[in-house]
Copies of this chain bind each other. A is one copy, B any other.
Amino acid sequence: MAATITDVAKVAGVSKATVSKFLNGTHYVSQETRERIAAAISELDYAPNRVAQGLSLKRSHTIGLVVANIGNPFYAELIRGAEEVAASRGYTLLLASTDGEPKRESTIVNAMRQRQVDGIAFASVRLADREVTALAKDGVKVVLASRNLPDAEVDMVLVDSVKGAKLAVKHLIRHGHKAIAYVSGPLSIAQFQDRLKGWRDALREADIHPSAEHELSLDRMDVEAGYQAGLQLLGLKERPTAIFTATDNLAFGIMKACDELNLTIPDDLALVGFDAVPFGEVSRSPLTSVDGSGLIMGQRALQLLIDRIERDQRAPSDNRQVRMVLQPTLCIRRSCGCQPGTEI
């Protein structure tokens, strides 16, 4: 149905090779034949078949993006950023979501490799450091977005989680809180470890010793999980007066729990999240949150990845690993107890 390079060549009265050269500007083509080819192309409405091109060139101009859960607004933002730079640089995204299942993850990686993606961006890794490193060694260009595998030898972009958590907790302390709980995502994820550390450090520096019951780690990070955690925490004898959560979704769940228990935020409970998803602006109580910039992370990750892919074209096996760490800021709204105009 669609025209091929052979059709164009025929119509223009030249060889496929010449058309190809014209198309890629790789060799000189005389003014006259250039015009004939151009005419043929527009006459036939020809567009190169990227699949064939890919087979020949061994480059698909396609990048795999794997996220844990598209429904989580943090990933949605990240995808948005990724898609934006991919498109602007002539790549398209193959999207897949793991739903947190490690098994799905390797299935996905295989599927992507078979499709000859030029690289893979992971916004979700359950794979071990060594598996990721193995991938990279195997020639697959990899970048980690918002995930920290300390020992994996691949590029990554992440937010300084320790610092972010300290920002959050110190802010809560400044509001006068002492009983500040931490609700975490899976501790197998380094970023959540870091946030835990930030929480601990901030408390220690203020000479506060948290009750063991106030440190909770969940294995999911959806609203429902946060809700359960909220119920648990708020049912304690020693009830926390403030909670810091590892992600906004978890904070939203806590809001739901407060709702049910007729607790008011921030009066009965102060709350600070992590990610600063846009939606926090219109959540039950406007959510104060550490800005992890999903959007920017998605953008940077793809830039890094594409840079590496294209660099590798001419200077194969360049091994400088880059770890880009973004500085977090606190996005202050009202769930922390601040009043408009009188932020502290």
Which residues 102-126 of A sit at the B interface, judged by CB distance below 8 A? 108, 110-116
The docked-state distance in angstroms from the alpha carbon of A309 to that of B27 is 40
A47: interface (CB < 8 Å) = yes
Protomer copies:
2
Total interface residues on A, CB under 8 Å, equals 51
Task: Report whether B138 and A1 are in contact in the complex, using a CB–CB cutoff of 8 Å.
Answer: yes
A247: interface (CB < 8 Å) = no
Q: Closest residue of chain B to A255, judged by CB? A: B282
A70: interface (CB < 8 Å) = yes
Task: Report whether B252 and A115 are in contact in the complex, using a CB–CB cutoff of 8 Å.
Answer: no
Q: Closest residue of chain B to A54, judged by CB? A: B51
The docked-state distance in angstroms from the alpha carbon of A24 to that of B10 is 36
Task: Report whether B116 and A50 are in contact in the complex, using a CB–CB cutoff of 8 Å.
Answer: yes
CB neighbours (8 Å) of A2 from chain B are: 113
Task: Report whether B252 and A282 are in contact in the complex, using a CB–CB cutoff of 8 Å.
Answer: yes
A48: interface (CB < 8 Å) = yes
Residues of chain A whose beta carbon lies under 8 Å from any beta carbon of chain B: 1-2, 47-52, 54-55, 60, 62, 69-71, 73, 76-77, 79-80, 83, 87, 92-97, 108, 110-116, 138-139, 223, 252-253, 255-256, 259, 278-279, 281-284, 286
Q: Which 6 A-B pairs have the closest CB atoms?
A: A95-B95, A252-B282, A50-B114, A51-B116, A70-B80, A50-B115
